[in-house]
Amino acid sequence: MNTAKDEKHLKLEIQIENALLNKNSKNKNYLGKVNMKVTKQINLLLGINVNQRNHILLDNDIRHMLNNHGNKKSRQVQKIKFLLQKRILKIFLKSLIIQI
C-alpha cells in the first residue's frame, strides 16, 4: 500500500535519476510549504520574509549538489564519491518529505 509520502519519495528518486542522466533537464518538484520555524530563522538571519513560500527542487539544483569541483584522482574514487553523494542526497530529500 502506497502512502502519499511513498509516492513523493518515488517521484524524487525518479527526478534525481532523470536529472543525472539528462544534463539539460529543467524539471522541478514541489516539496511543500516553508514551515514557520524555517521562516523565522531565515527572517532572523537574512532579513528576508519567506512566509507562504514553497520548497521547490530543480533538476539543476540536484546536479549542482552532486557536482564535484576540483581535481579528479581516479575514476573509481570518483564513482564511489558520486554514489555516496547520491545516497546522502536521497536521505536528505527523504527527511524533507517526513517534515512536510
Count the alpha carbons within 13 Å of 73 in the hemisphere toward its beta carbon: 4
| Sites in the chain below the pLDDT cut of 50 | 70-71
> Given this model, what pLDDT does residue 70 score?
47
pTM: 0.52
- 52 is in which domain, residue-wise? 4-99
∠20-66-68 over CA atoms, to 5°? Answer: 115
For 54-98, the DSSP string reads EEEEEHHHHHHHHPPPS----HHHHHHHHHHHHHHHHHHHHHHHH
Cβ-proximal residues to 91 (8 Å cutoff; 6+ apart), any chain: none
pLDDT tens-digit map of 21-48:
888 888 888 878 888 888 888 888 888 8
- Please list the residues that pair with 67 across neighbouring strands: none
Domain count, the chain: 1
Are residues 100 and 34 in contact, defined by beta-carbon separation less than 8 angstroms? Answer: no
